[in-house]
Amino acid sequence: MRRLRPRPGVRILGTLTVATIMAGSIAPRTRACAALAAVDTTAGQSRRRRRAACPRVLPPGPGFDCPMSADWLRDAVIYEIYPQSYADSDGDGIGDLRGVIDRLDYIASLGIDAIWFNPCFASPFLDAGYDVADYLTVAPRYGTNDDLVELVAKARERGIRVLLDLVVGHTSTAHAWFQEELAAAGPNPAGDRFIWRTDPPDSGWGIDLPGIPAWVRSPGPRPGWYLKNFYDTQPALNFGWVRPDAALPWRAGVDAPGPRRNREALREILDFWLSKGVAGFRVDMAFSLVKDEFVAEGRLESVAIWREIRGWMESAYPEAVLIPEGEEPRDGRGFAFDADFALVIHEAHASLFDNHGAGALPWHTPREPFFDAAGQGSTEVFLRMWDQWRAADDQRPVIVASADHDFSRLRCGARNPEQLGAAFTLLFTWGSIPSLYYGDEIGMRYLPGMPNVEGAVCHPAYNRAGCRTPMQWDDGPNAGFSDADPADLYLPVDPAPDRPTVAAQDGVGGSTLTLVRELLALRRATPALQGRAPTRVVNAGYPFAWTRGESHLVVVNPRAEAAALEDARAGSGRLIWGSGARTRPGGLDLDGFGYGIIEI
């Protein structure tokens, strides 16, 4: 049996033993082993418990243990992989699918249910693959379609599903569809796939920022302008307009020939990958399909397209999921997507974790984060948004990530490993669907000053490259990411001598990696800590405390100053997980950065 070893000066009271879970004292989920692939320490040497001892491998087939249902997502843990930076198997300095295949046992050892890949389709990579040139072909730098099919199958053997990032609001200007229309003298009789005009633009959105549609002059030979969706090299696909105008041929309705062609193509793309075993899609800019100068109305009309897609998927691939980038607009007609996504760049998530170490999000009101040593933050914004997300359905799944590819990392600025335990305790037990960003499980740092690679700087106030640096596997060259010359790497590796690595933390009590593995094992073994039991706030300040169902109380103190919770349930309950937490009659005391999970 093993315990989480305390960090210096902090007492660990709660314990999680693999033997206890395996023996059934902590009831495992029926769909997977509670213990995962635990790491035992014997005579100073770490060893990985053989997976044969842990019946987590689920039967082959797209539904796993939830046949004909996408309900598996509610209790899942997602692992986001930025493929360029995860593992390079061929020495060219860029991560690839074979590198991920080689690391699947590691991913399984974390307790992951689904991998979410950032775009891996053919692309000129002017926006890191979010500029797609061919939806049906894996980018050669990552491998082949056969490699992706193999990855899906081998992940499935380990009980892991694969989700792909889908970008369908726009393509790259290098896409054959755009090149065909660019070379044409005028509109396609079958309907244009993109939005072209020859009359000079005299109106629009009035904001010149990536992510806001704008007109771009055609480089020819086709005359006029085309509508972009993000960067100038990302022309918007034509899904129609909320307000068509017969006097303006480019402003067609959603049922015009061009939009119908694109809806048919969208279904064909989904079918192509779902038929190969992919479990679903995270859809980039999902609500940017239908255009309107009143953006909210265009978003609502875009939902109608996805609802049509959802109807088809429920018949053809009922176990597959759709996840949007952000919150699905509510129109009172039911959901098209399986969850909402609390984006790192949006205010709710930022109010918890954005310590401004990665720059500024200019559309936010500046505030101190709740998870910060100074203890000057508030949970008010997050809790208000949580209530809003669940207003239409109190069981609505919401994905909350540790970080992602679009801004920073959990360990950013002055935040150090000691502070990560409280953050992971929230992320893995709140009742949301956790999304763990690659490298956060070892406390990889956001690196300022990175070069602007593949469109990483989309606003002068921040640089996304700092959260996209190569995965740090060991202390070898390039941190074990690649055998390439350092000058050929996708991005530089963290140069710090004390950079965290998987090898240095694997099997080490008290490490961030051990914490993540054990906390996810506890989550898997304890249904109340997953995605279905009600979450009720007990204290919204420091310490932040909430109950899960009627059986567990979770308390975190993300500031440096000690905190106390006055609650009789804490005093009389059993602390099963924690660091720097002490029960007493009538309550619980926490050291700075302490956390605890109590059976009540």
- What pLDDT, in 10s, does the model give residues 307-327? 999 999 999 999 999 999 999
Confidence category of residue 270, pLDDT binned at 50, 70, 90: very high
Query: Alpha helices, DSSP H only, in 143-209?
Result: 145-157, 176-183
Q: What is the pLDDT of residue 294?
A: 83
Listed in sequence order, the residues at least 6 apart from 362 whose beta carbon sits closer than 8 Å to its beta carbon are 459, 461
466 phi-psi bin (left φ>0, alpha ψ -120 to 50, beta other): alpha
- Average pLDDT of the residues in 283-306: 94
pLDDT at 74 over 80: yes
pLDDT at 13 over 60: no
Q: Is the peptide bond before 543 cis (omega within 30 degrees of 0)?
A: yes
pLDDT at 54 over 70: no
Q: What is the pLDDT of residue 39?
A: 29
More confident call, 228 vs 30: 228
More confident call, 273 vs 8: 273
Edge-to-edge strand list for the sheet holding 214-217: 196-197, 225-228, 214-217
Contact 196, 224 (CB under 8 A): yes
Query: DSSP string spanning 236-291?
Result: BB---BSS--TTSTTS--TTSHHHHHHHHHHHHHHHHHHTTT--EEEEETTT-SSB
pLDDT at 542 over 50: yes
Phi, psi at residue 127, to the nearest 5°? -135, 50
Q: What is the pLDDT of residue 222?
A: 97
d(CA 509, CA 47): 13
pLDDT at 64 over 80: no
- What pLDDT, in 10s, does the model give residues 346-391? 999 999 999 999 999 999 888 999 999 999 999 999 999 999 999 9
Confidence category of residue 69, pLDDT binned at 50, 70, 90: confident
Phi, psi at residue 333, to the nearest 5°? -115, 20
d(CA 140, CA 133): 12
- Average pLDDT of the residues in 19-25: 30
- What pLDDT, in 10s, does the model give residues 111-126? 999 999 999 999 999 9
- Average pLDDT of the residues in 582-591: 98
Q: What is each CA distance from 284 to 76, 167, 317, in whole angstroms?
A: 20, 5, 20
pLDDT at 68 over 80: no
d(CA 333, CA 260): 22
Confidence category of residue 426, pLDDT binned at 50, 70, 90: very high
- Average pLDDT of the residues in 408-429: 98
* AA letter at 335: F
Confidence category of residue 37, pLDDT binned at 50, 70, 90: very low
- What pLDDT, in 10s, does the model give residues 324-336? 999 999 988 899 9
212: tokens are: 């806001």
More confident call, 24 vs 434: 434
152: tokens are: 């899906």
Q: What is the pLDDT of residue 33?
A: 30
Q: Is the pTM of this model over 0.85?
A: yes
pLDDT at 289 over 50: yes
Confidence category of residue 23, pLDDT binned at 50, 70, 90: very low
- What pLDDT, in 10s, does the model give residues 191-218? 999 999 999 997 667 666 677 889 999 9
pLDDT at 486 over 50: yes
Average pLDDT, the chain: 89
Query: Alpha helices, DSSP H only, in 368-436?
Result: 380-389, 420-429
Using a pLDDT cut of 90, give the percent of the chain over it. Answer: 84
d(CA 450, CA 358): 11
- b or e along 379-397 (b: 16 or more beta carbons within 10 Å of the residue's beta carbon)? bebbbebbeebbeeeeebb
Listed in sequence order, the residues at least 6 apart from 95 whose beta carbon sits closer than 8 Å to its beta carbon are 82, 83, 84, 85, 86, 87, 88, 142, 470, 471, 481, 482, 490
pLDDT at 50 over 70: no
- Average pLDDT of the residues in 488-510: 97
- Average pLDDT of the residues in 25-41: 29
Strands 280-284 and 161-167: parallel
- Average pLDDT of the residues in 157-168: 98
Confidence category of residue 61, pLDDT binned at 50, 70, 90: very low
Query: DSSP string spanning 441-489?
Result: GGTPBP-TT----TT--SBTTB-GGGGSPPP--SSSGGGGS-SS-GGGS
Listed in sequence order, the residues at least 6 apart from 25 whose beta carbon sits closer than 8 Å to its beta carbon are none
Q: What is the pLDDT of residue 293?
A: 84
116: tokens are: 């979410």
pLDDT at 66 over 90: no
d(CA 84, CA 117): 10
- Average pLDDT of the residues in 170-186: 97
Q: What is the pLDDT of residue 344?
A: 97
* AA letter at 202: D
Cβ of 448: how many Cβ atoms within 10 Å?
15
Q: What is the pLDDT of residue 489?
A: 98
Q: What is the pLDDT of residue 126?
A: 97
pLDDT at 501 over 70: yes
pLDDT at 38 over 80: no
Contact 348, 365 (CB under 8 A): no
Q: What is the pLDDT of residue 203?
A: 65
Q: What is the pLDDT of residue 65?
A: 52
- Average pLDDT of the residues in 404-413: 98
pLDDT at 454 over 50: yes
- b or e along 552-587 (b: 16 or more beta carbons within 10 Å of the residue's beta carbon)? bbbbbbbbeeebbbebebbbebebbbbbbbbbeeeb
Q: What is the pLDDT of residue 336?
A: 97
Contact 587, 567 (CB under 8 A): yes
Phi, psi at residue 284, to the nearest 5°? -70, 135
Listed in sequence order, the residues at least 6 apart from 464 whose beta carbon sits closer than 8 Å to its beta carbon are 405, 406, 407, 456, 457, 458
Listed in sequence order, the residues at least 6 apart from 499 whose beta carbon sits closer than 8 Å to its beta carbon are 444, 445, 472, 479, 493
Confidence category of residue 19, pLDDT binned at 50, 70, 90: very low
Please compute, for residue 107, the number of CA atoms within 13 A of its CA located in the half-sphere on the CB side.
32
